């Protein structure tokens, strides 16, 4: 049908072109649908109109899933203990205690009475004749983790007549940890209102008969659950939970309700961690990506659309099939050490029999007796480990014992797959597998390959070119079509070590495991439609994501080790980041990649945790004894900085700091002028970022995000470092305020604070890049000021001295006059840029937050009104000192003892690492009577402990003046007060994992950060 040219308007053409270019993300502002509807309305008949109508109806209908993929409400939000309800429309699909599925229609008869004896098959085709190390160098721990995955989804009932029942769910839901039914789940839970599991327990007793590293891995997921649960309660995103440790009058019903909520959310997050390990470390090893240094992963969870725009199925449930039960019999990979361990276990269980003599009847009888005599799961042990009987870790295993088993498994080589590779000690297990395969009526190997779309084998030699193996199989089975699935999978020729292959099992296994993995995970509603920030909370959702930028080529297992065993794994060890590969093999791969220098190949050594010091006298003496106790950050700074001058982390820092401050503020007038800059910049940013409330004489401003974060930054960047900021008013700057703050925050955190060891190496690399970029800019800004000019005439009037570019030039010239090198000057300016910005912003946030507290509002407001004059800032300075005593930016600092010493009750040894808990010492009743009361009249001032951060960078007088002027500007606003509701709260939480942080915050990625993000204040304005 032809349309006149004038009817084809520009808008319709633009919409059509956009639809062609962006089929999956149409720009609805181009009005394609409206143009289409208009066309149909104007041309109600005709073939093209009919096609358009059909297309429109199908597209609109296919926008949504039919039936809905999920529903809201607690019965759909969380996993059921038995796995039921994963598919709301087929709630029993994949439920524990339901029959196995069958995937393949068998077409070739395999009459059981004509099958060769299972023991004969093992002795002919499967029994190990010699140990062959795995071709990729996989470690024994790889197959310990595989055992955990396998036992999550397969648990055949051994009760006569019920062998077809799978007693676990069909989902990767950590059932070995949490149990397969509600009664078992209740046994592993603490139920004290915090959503915790009992320490180091798990639900699956079968694992006690496997090599100990399997149980150790499960214990780590127990600890990860408890870490997550504690963090969820600390953050308390929805504000509905009460910590039982601090609220003693919470009703039993409320505690039970919140315990269930926290437990279930933590379980969702922990299962997602488990899946992240599967799709990072596990799949990386299976596909050989780890050898290539690749962090890529084929994750199957995303929403996809079919060509007709309908939703490609996901989250519709899964049931494990008997064919895939046969697939995961990987006993051939058993290491020599695990073989020895299993042999000893069987000797203990059957002291009068050799492994070859143990019968199925013996095994089942022993299983019954062990189950009857099994102790309470809180007292289960394995690998001769003992639980601690007292102290804060009562009921837990020692970290070093757990790490010993894991690191041992990493250092043990797994065997290769293939025929005649299964240890003789596994004979009974293999016979049980073969007999189960026959009892279930499982298809032949060729039937299975046909089902997968693979070429069927025409001969035994094609199946396995090893003539001896092929001939033996042919004599047992007669024809290749008669080769049963279980044996055919285990004895098939193995895949060579090529790009894209790393597990190297038989060809059929190699293809089928990927199908099964995708069915297990893409079919799971809790990894797809219901994997949301609401169900897991914002922090939980962010925490459990696979991070392709993590160290170890995106390792998740390394992050788990460093979280749960932080003193036994190191931040750069091959054992930490590549535990599923033997260290010698991994070292070779890293050499090939040119990355070996970034890792330590040695087995990690245990480190001692820091000793926490809380006493006022002890903390004060250590802080003042700078000759006896050294900070860690001098060494930390040397990892990312070159040369001298970074005085905030220098062995000669005190003298260098005095020299820099004398150049920065050589007189009281200079200090006063800097203070006025802070006052004026604060008022400027408040005015710039304020918003009006409709119909009220009230304005609001996000005082933290838009003002306090950036006042010090503007001064240090533009006035001192010569780095122009990019703002709406000045669009040609180098960085936006947020970009520079994030860079400086990351440098400060790396050098002066604690860094989560799991992120240490990536952060260090980013900090190196930040430092390189900033020093380049600082050096470039030196300009002519970098030349050594005569000192005379440098000091002019204060107005010219602190002009925008003039101020920077004069300070630089003074530093050169002191004899500093260019490198020294650049590093000194960087030290100020880092040390006098982000931490001061945090300190200012704490002061404003405390002084706007309802108990202190009137007092502070009146004091500020009386002392608005810059000449009279003493009272505000006193308020700041007292506020930072009550709410310091950081809880404390670390020091290393250079010699033995006794301070009061504290006995210190040389080399001992101390955490000085300044926040606790600040609450000392003897030094500060009624310590929780903000009293700005406390005397003498010497009682206050030495301040760190911006006070040590700028000196007490200059730092106090800057902060007082900012506070004066904020409190000069008429009737300044908190914003309404949540907007007016400083959202933060205590972080037990990083003691140095007094409080932690969630950044825009919803991950833990030392830096505050938001707090709105309101103030009145006159029309």
* Cα of 128 vs its chain's centroid, Å: 41
Phi, psi of 113 (to 5 degrees): -75, -5
Length of the chain: 1023
Report whether 485 contacts 444 (CB < 8 A): yes
Count CB neighbours of 865 within 10 A. 11
Is 599 in the active site?
no
Phi, psi of 618 (to 5 degrees): -65, -45
Contacts of 457 (CB under 8 A, 6+ apart): 445, 446, 449, 463, 480, 483
Q: Classify residue 898 by burial, with Cβ atoms within 10 Å: 0-12, 13-18, 19+.
A: middle
Report whether 950 contacts 842 (CB < 8 A): no
Rounded Cα distance between 282 and 907, Å, is: 46
Per-residue burial over 2-30, b = 16 or more CB atoms within 10 Å of its CB, e = otherwise? eeeeeeeeeebebbeebeeeeeeeeeeeb
Q: Which residues pair with 255 in a beta bridge?
A: none
Report whether 566 contacts 557 (CB < 8 A): no
| Cα torsion through 93, 94, 99, 104, rounded to 10 | 90
**CA angle, 535 then 541 then 543, to 5°:** 145
Rounded Cα distance between 519 and 321, Å, is: 11
Sign of torsion, CA 71 75 79 81? negative
Report whether 891 contacts 996 (CB < 8 A): yes
Report whether 648 contacts 657 (CB < 8 A): yes
Determine which one of 100, 328, 486, 551 is catalytic. Answer: 328
Contacts of 778 (CB under 8 A, 6+ apart): 721, 722, 723, 826, 829, 830, 833
| Cα torsion through 180, 185, 186, 192, rounded to 10 | -170
Rounded Cα distance between 474 and 1017, Å, is: 83
* Ramachandran category for residue 2: left, alpha or beta (phi over 0 → left; psi -120 to 50 → alpha): beta
Per-residue burial over 74-101, b = 16 or more CB atoms within 10 Å of its CB, e = otherwise? eebbbbbbbbbbbbbeeeebbbbbbebb
Rounded Cα distance between 581 and 414, Å, is: 9
Cα–Cα distance list, 706 to 54, 681, 710, 853, 1001 (Å): 52, 12, 7, 20, 16
Contacts of 130 (CB under 8 A, 6+ apart): none
Q: How does DSSP classify residue 902?
A: E
Rounded Cα distance between 213 and 807, Å, is: 63
Q: Classify residue 960 by burial, with Cβ atoms within 10 Å: 0-12, 13-18, 19+.
A: buried
331 is in an annotated binding site: yes
DSSP string, 638-707: HTT--SS--GGG-TTHHHHHHHHHHHH--SHHHHHHHHHHHHHHHHHHHHHH-EEPTTSSEEEEEIIIII
Of the candidates 507, 325, 331, 286, which has an alpha carbon nearest to the alpha carbon of residue 421? 331
> What residues act catalytically?
328
Annotated binding site for heme b: 331
């Amino acid at each position: 049908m032809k349309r006149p040219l004038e009817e084809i308007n520009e808008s319709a053409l633009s919409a059509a072109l956009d639809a062609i270019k962006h089929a999956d993300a149409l720009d609805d502002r181009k009005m394609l649908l409206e143009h289409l509807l208009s066309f149909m309305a104007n041309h109600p008949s005709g073939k093209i109109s009919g096609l358009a109508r059909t297309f429109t109806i199908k597209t609109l209908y296919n926008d949504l899933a039919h039936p809905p993929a999920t529903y809201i409400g607690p019965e759909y939000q969380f996993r059921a203990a038995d796995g039921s309800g994963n598919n709301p429309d087929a709630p029993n699909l994949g439920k524990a205690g339901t029959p196995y599925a069958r995937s393949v229609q068998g077409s070739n008869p395999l009459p059981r009475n004509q099958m060769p004896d299972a023991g004969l098959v093992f002795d002919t085709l499967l029994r190990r004749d010699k140990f062959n190390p795995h071709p990729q160098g996989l470690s024994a721990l790889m197959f310990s983790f595989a055992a955990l995955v396998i036992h999550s989804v397969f648990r055949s009932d051994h009760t006569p007549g019920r062998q077809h029942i799978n007693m676990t769910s069909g989902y990767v839901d950590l059932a070995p940890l949490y149990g397969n039914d509600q009664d078992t789940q209740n046994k592993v839970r603490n139920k004290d209102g915090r959503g915790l599991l009992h320490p180091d327990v798990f639900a699956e007793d079968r694992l006690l008969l496997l090599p100990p590293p399997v149980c150790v891995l499960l214990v780590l997921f127990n600890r990860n659950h408890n870490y997550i649960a504690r963090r969820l309660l600390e953050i308390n995103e929805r504000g509905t939970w009460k910590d039982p440790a601090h609220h003693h009058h919470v009703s039993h019903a409320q505690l039970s309700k919140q315990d269930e909520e926290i437990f279930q959310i933590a379980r969702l997050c922990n299962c997602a961690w488990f899946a992240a390990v599967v799709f990072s470390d596990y799949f990386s090893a299976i596909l050989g990506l780890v050898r290539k240094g690749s962090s890529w992963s084929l994750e199957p969870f995303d929403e996809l659309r079919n060509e007709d725009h309908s939703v490609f199925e996901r989250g519709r449930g899964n049931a494990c099939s008997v064919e895939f039960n046969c697939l995961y019999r990987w006993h051939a990979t058993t290491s020599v050490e695990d073989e020895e361990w299993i042999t000893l276990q069987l000797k203990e269980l059957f002291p009068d029999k050799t492994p070859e003599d143990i019968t199925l009847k013996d095994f089942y009888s022993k299983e019954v007796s062990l189950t009857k005599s099994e102790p309470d799961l809180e007292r289960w042990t394995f690998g001769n480990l003992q639980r601690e009987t007292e102290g804060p870790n009562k009921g837990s295993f020692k970290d070093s014992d757990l790490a010993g088993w894991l690191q041992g498994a990493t250092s043990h080589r797994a065997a290769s797959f293939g025929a005649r590779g299964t240890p003789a000690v596994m004979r009974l297990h293999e016979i049980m597998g073969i007999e189960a395969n026959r009892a279930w009526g499982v298809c032949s190997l060729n039937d299975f390959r046909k089902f997968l779309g693979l070429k069927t084998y025409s001969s035994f030699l094609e199946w396995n070119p090893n003539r001896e193996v092929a001939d033996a199989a042919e004599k047992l089975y007669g024809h290749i079509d008669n080769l049963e699935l279980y044996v055919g999978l285990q004895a098939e020729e193995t895949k060579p070590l090529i790009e894209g292959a790393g597990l190297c099992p038989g060809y059929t296994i190699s293809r089928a495991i990927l199908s099964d993995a995708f069915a297990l995970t893409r079919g799971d509603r809790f990894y797809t439609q219901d994997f949301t920030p609401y169900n897991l909370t914002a922090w939980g959702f962010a925490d459990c994501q696979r991070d392709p930028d993590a160290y170890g080529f995106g390792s998740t297992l390394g992050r788990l080790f460093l979280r749960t065993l932080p003193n036994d794994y190191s931040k750069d060890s091959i054992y930490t980041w590549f535990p599923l590969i033997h260290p010698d093999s991994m070292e070779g791969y890293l050499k090939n990649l040119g990355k070996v220098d970034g890792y330590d190949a040695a087995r990690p050594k245990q480190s001692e945790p820091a000793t926490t010091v809380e006493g006022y006298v002890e903390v004060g003496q250590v802080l003042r004894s700078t000759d006896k106790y050294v900070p860690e950050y001098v060494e930390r700074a040397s990892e990312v900085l070159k040369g001298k001058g970074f005085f905030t982390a220098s062995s000669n820092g005190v003298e260098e700091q005095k020299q820099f401050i004398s150049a920065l503020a050589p007189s009281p007038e200079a200090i006063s002028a800097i203070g006025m800059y802070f006052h004026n910049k604060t008022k400027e940013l408040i005015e710039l970022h304020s918003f009006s409330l409709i119909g009220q004489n009230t304005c609001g401003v996000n005082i933290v995000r838009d003002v306090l974060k950036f006042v010090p930054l503007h001064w240090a960047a533009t006035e001192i470092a010569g780095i122009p900021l990019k703002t709406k008013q000045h669009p040609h700057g180098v960085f936006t305020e947020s970009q520079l703050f994030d860079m400086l925050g990351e440098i400060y955190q790396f050098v002066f604070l604690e860094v989560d060891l799991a992120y240490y190496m990536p952060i260090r690399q980013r900090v190196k890049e930040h430092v390189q970029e900033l020093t380049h800019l600082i050096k470039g800004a030196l300009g002519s000021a970098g030349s050594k000019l005569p000192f005379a005439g440098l000091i002019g009037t204060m107005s010219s001295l602190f002009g925008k570019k003039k101020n920077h030039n004069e300070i630089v010239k003074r530093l050169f006059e002191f004899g500093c090198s260019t490198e020294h000057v650049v590093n000194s300016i960087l030290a100020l840029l880092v040390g006098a910005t982000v931490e001061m912003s945090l300190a200012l946030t704490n002061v404003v937050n405390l002084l706007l507290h309802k108990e202190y509002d009137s007092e502070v407001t009146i004091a500020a009104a009386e002392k608005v004059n810059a000449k009279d800032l003493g009272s505000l300075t006193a308020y700041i000192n007292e506020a930072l005593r009550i709410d310091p930016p950081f809880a404390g600092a670390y020091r290393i003892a250079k010699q033995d010493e006794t301070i009061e009750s504290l006995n210190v040894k040389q080399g001992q690492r101390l955490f000085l808990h300044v926040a606790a010492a600040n609450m000392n009743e003897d030094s500060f009577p009624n310590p929780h009361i903000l009293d700005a009249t406390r005397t003498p001032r010497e009682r206050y402990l030495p301040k760190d951060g911006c006070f040590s960078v700028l000196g007490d007088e200059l730092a106090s003046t800057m902060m007082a002027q900012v506070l004066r500007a904020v409190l000069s606003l008429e009737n300044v007060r908190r914003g309404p509701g949540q907007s007016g709260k400083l959202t933060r939480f205590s972080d037990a994992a990083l003691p140095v942080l007094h409080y932690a915050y969630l950044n825009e990625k919803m991950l833990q950060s030392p830096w505050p993000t938001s707090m709105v204040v309101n103030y009145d304005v006159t029309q």
